[in-house]
Amino acid sequence: MAKEVVVGTLNTLYTAENIQNEEFNPQEFHLGDELLAAADETWQGPERHL
| In contact, 38 and 5? CB cutoff 8 Å | no
26 assigned to some structural domain: yes
Does residue 49 fall inside a structural domain? no
Q: How many domains does the chain have?
A: 1
Does residue 17 lie within any of the structural domains?
yes
This model's pTM is above 0.85: no
Q: What is the DSSP letter of 26?
A: T
Could you read off the pLDDT of 4-31 as tens digits, one per residue? 777 777 777 766 666 666 777 788 888 8
Residue 43 pLDDT = 77
Instruction: Give the burial class of 27: count Cβ atoms within 10 A of its Cβ; 0-12 exposed, 13-18 middle, 19 or more buried.
Output: exposed
pLDDT category at 36 given cuts 50, 70, 90 is: confident
Domain encompassing residue 28: 1-44
Q: Which residue has the higher pLDDT, 10 or 47?
A: 10
At a CB cut-off of 8 Å and minimum separation 6, what does 49 contact?
Answer: 16
19 within domain boundaries:
yes
Report if residue 15 sits inside a domain.
Answer: yes
